[in-house]
Structure 1
Amino acid sequence: MLFDLTDLRLFIAIAELKSMTRAAERLHLSLGAASSRIKELEARFGVRLLYRESKGMQLSPAGETLLAHAQQFMQQVERLKSDMQQYNNGIKGHIRIFANTTAVTEFMPEVLGDFLVSHPQVDVALEERLNHDIVRGVQEGTADIGIIAGDMQVPGLEVLNFSTDRLVLVTPANHPLAGKGAVLFSSTLEFDHIGLHEGSTLHHFLKRIVTESRQQLKLRIQVRSFEAMCRMIEAKVGIGILPQSAAQRLSASMAIALVDLDDPWAVRERSVIVQHLDQLPGYARELVECIRGWGKGSAGGAAK
């Protein structure tokens, strides 16, 4: 036999982590055992699959081909496990989701709370990623499901819109912009801003908007959460751009004001992206329907 499932899982992990050591740790293998498996895999195929470079382990052209097939093969294995689950309750499923900041912090906890109660045999890994990393992760099979917002190019993927995401300006209660009905983002740039951390989708989105308009964003401080942003805004450290859902929730307990943004990009479609919905394991398809159902409900309306 050319390979077994452990070989494929190890190879996929190395491609993702770019490290033999970290991949071995993920699969609970010794470094020597992992190295031997890769050497045997290369010997069986008769080609070089990996190169060790300064940036870590890199795939050869043959390795890229093997990765694509390995990811598809493992997805089919997961689907087989799901379909057989009705005959054996001991089988557990696993779903990996890449999502943007708002999804991870605002609505996926609610969605997953309901889903996991009704699917006790399924484990979920939810990771915050930038939009382009989410798309690439689903394209490459690193993630089963992606959740993005805005106009993204997603060649070769199925796109399922499920709700609307609106960005708003948040200011201290007595700020000069607080009484405005709506403002342009450009009119906020004279004030200090509170931003999310560098790895957040929202930070990268606003950074791109400012760069394209050849303006500057005066970031006074960057924090890790929407709640921390609003606390800084309430303390009059600056103003900030937040999803309306988060801003409305936090405004109930803080002295802050919400102002509509009059920019077309402030309203963005939220979408679930997958390679092939009908090829996902049954439990993963059910989770997609849970996300779409949330979007159709009162909690996932346009105000979100």
Structure 2
Amino acid sequence: MHFDLADLRLFIHIGESPSLTQGARRAFLSPAAASARIKALEQQLDTRLLYRDSRGVELTPAGQKLLVHARLIMRQVDYLKADFTHLGADSAGHIRIFANTTAVTEFLPEVLAGFLAERPGVSVDLQERLSRDIVRGVLDGSTDMGIIAGPVEAAGLQVMHFSTDRLVLTVPVGHELAQCKRISLKQTLAFQHIALHEGSTLLSFLREHVERIGQGLSLRIQVSSFEAICRMVEAGVGIGIIPESAALRHSRTMRLVTIELDEPWAVRERSILVRELEALPGTVRALIATLMPTPVPD
């Protein structure tokens, strides 16, 4: 036996009203629609629930019994909503995030460390994905939020810019390119590159732009982090294109030279993607507020 919660709430409204019309009005239904729902409920229970006459409606003994159960059921539903509303404020819950390489390896670990330390009841599933998969995941509901770099073309998404980074070339001190102030991607292709692992968003992004100029990217070694790229560059193994934020941080402890990439796509806007901000659980909105430079509405 299946009960529709909307039908039970309607029955309560009618049972507490002097007429079906008034009960229907409280449920925001027409009298005809309300009557049809009650008749369907009676058929499901195989019993009469209301006496109907010109003066209004009166509950049958079966109707009185259903009214008691309906009130108990709806009260428990309200308790359930209240409990999860409290938990969902921002102190507990699960968040799934699809993000690009830079987000996963650079700034999200620090942000999430502080966020989770303050909220012991929150857990996070952080997955590195390609940009197209991040957009698709947010659109189809596979993830609560996405973090992406660069332009986003996807109808039906809310895009919130939260920071800007740029891609730069790193070379070892003394390298023949070290005196350059600016350099094009094409000029770097004469040298062997050190890059991230297969499947990383940055490597896929760079390959796309290399293919557009009709050349190939010569990879000497692929590693798992920007720190590893910088260590290889410092040792003279090759050159590497990485986010400026990572290059500046590792330059403090390594002998590296950073060169600006003379490409329009080198400046990359970081954005958070969601389907509908207001519809997200409070925990997710709290994380977004942590990332955003300005407050996000609750």
Return the TM-score normalized by structure 1. Answer: 0.68
Change (3 A) 1:86 1:167: closer
CA distance in 2 between partners of 1:192 and 1:214 (Å) = 17
- Whether 1:164 and 2:183 are equivalent positions in the alignment is no
The letter for the 2-side match of 1:163 is S
Partner of 1:199: 199
State the number of aligned residues: 218
Quick check: 2:166–2:244 contact (8 Å CA) kept in 1?
Answer: yes
Quick check: 1:82–1:283 contact (8 Å CA) kept in 2?
Answer: no
Partner of 1:118: 118
CA distance in 1 between partners of 2:266 and 2:236 (Å) = 23
Deviation (angstroms), 1:293: 3.2
Segments ≥4 residues shifted beyond 6 Å? none
Change (3 A) 1:81 1:113: farther
> Which secondary structure state, in structure 2, belongs to the residue aligned with residue 174 of structure 1?
coil
Change (3 A) 1:82 1:110: farther
Partner of 2:185: 185
Partner of 1:83: 85
Deviation (angstroms), 1:80: 7.6
Alpha-carbon RMSD:
2.3
Quick check: 1:97–1:124 contact (8 Å CA) kept in 2?
Answer: yes
CA displacement, residues 132-163 of structure 1 (integer Å, 9 cap, x when unaligned): 11111111111101000011222211000001
- Whether 1:94 and 2:94 are equivalent positions in the alignment is yes
| Structure number with bigger Rg | 2
CA distance in 2 between partners of 1:115 and 1:199 (Å) = 28
Change (3 A) 1:81 1:203: farther
Q: Which runs of 5+ in 1 are unaligned?
A: 3-78, 296-304
Deviation (angstroms), 1:216: 1.4
> Which secondary structure state, in structure 2, belongs to the residue aligned with residue 248 of structure 1?
helix
> Which secondary structure state, in structure 2, belongs to the residue aligned with residue 124 of structure 1?
strand
Partner of 1:278: 278
CA distance in 1 between partners of 2:273 and 2:258 (Å) = 31
Return the TM-score normalized by structure 2. Answer: 0.69
Deviation (angstroms), 1:234: 1.0
Q: Which runs of 5+ in 2 are unaligned?
A: 3-80
